[in-house]
Amino acid sequence: MGPLVPDIVYRPSSDVDNLLASRGTYSKVRSVFKTLSLDPSITDIEMRIKQVRILNNQEFIGTGDIYIVVVAVDDLSKKPITMQVKTFEGVRNNDELTLGPAGLAVYRNPKGQIPRFLDYRLIVMESDQEKRDFGKLLADVEADTQFKSVRDGLIAMATATQPAAALVIAAADTIVNVISRVLKADRDDQVIYIAGSFNDKIDDLGVKLGPITQKNRNAIVTYQVMSA
């Protein structure tokens, strides 16, 4: 398996930054952005995948085994990286994955700590291996020297007054590449890969956006960042 390439990139705050920079007006409003912050009444956030419908399970005929890999990276110390894998067997075309009544929780902030940046990767894959130890997969990723280097860099960066969003995004890219390398599954097929990020100033970490639905020809994914 080579490096995974996102089907969809969704970074509304970065889009605003780039638009202002292209028009030469960023310097005029930079001070305004610095005064913005997340609503102080919000003390906790979580991201949930609300729905995944498989349009094409990547099998020529019949059912396929599907797994979701989630990577979330924030700029908080102690544990800046969250990873999980969820598996589904016997999935047919047009099946909706069973995520539970509230959906699948993929990120929660540390109690009482709100990140300034949150980068997330939602990856849906079709597995050509009937039995795969995903617990071992995550353990192998966490033991990888490159993963450890990225994690330690994020922890060190968390103390910075002005952390760089680009570093958080680059860290998530590196982690996904480590996962790809550890999987070593040449025949697994990418169904959909969504890469996105929010910050606490321009887009309020996504909490005001409501449910977000994105799709390609293989799948439809709906997710949401909610406040608590």
- Where exactly are the structural domains of the chain? 8-227
Residue 37 has pLDDT above 70, yes or no: no
Rounded average pLDDT over 173-200: 86
Using DSSP's 3-state secondary structure scheme, residue 139 falls into helix
Categorize the per-residue pLDDT at 32 as very low, low, confident or very high, splitting at 50, 70 and 90.
very low
Say if CB 48 and CB 224 are below 8 A apart.
Answer: yes
CA 9 – CA 193 distance, rounded (Å)? 9
Using DSSP's 3-state secondary structure scheme, residue 63 falls into coil
* pLDDT, tens digit (0-9, with 9 covering 90-100), for 75-93: 887 888 999 999 999 999 9
Say if CB 122 and CB 176 are below 8 A apart.
Answer: no
Q: How many CB atoms lie within 10 A of CB 105?
A: 15
Residue 133 has pLDDT above 90, yes or no: no
Share of the chain above pLDDT 70, in %: 83
The single-letter DSSP state of residue 205 is G
Predicted confidence at residue 162, as pLDDT, reads: 58
Alpha-carbon torsion 185, 186, 189, 194, what sign? Answer: positive
What are φ and ψ of residue 176, in 5° steps? -65, -40
Predicted confidence at residue 214, as pLDDT, reads: 97
CA 118 – CA 196 distance, rounded (Å)? 8
Confidence (pTM)? 0.86
Tell me the average pLDDT of the chain. Answer: 84
CA 177 – CA 197 distance, rounded (Å)? 18
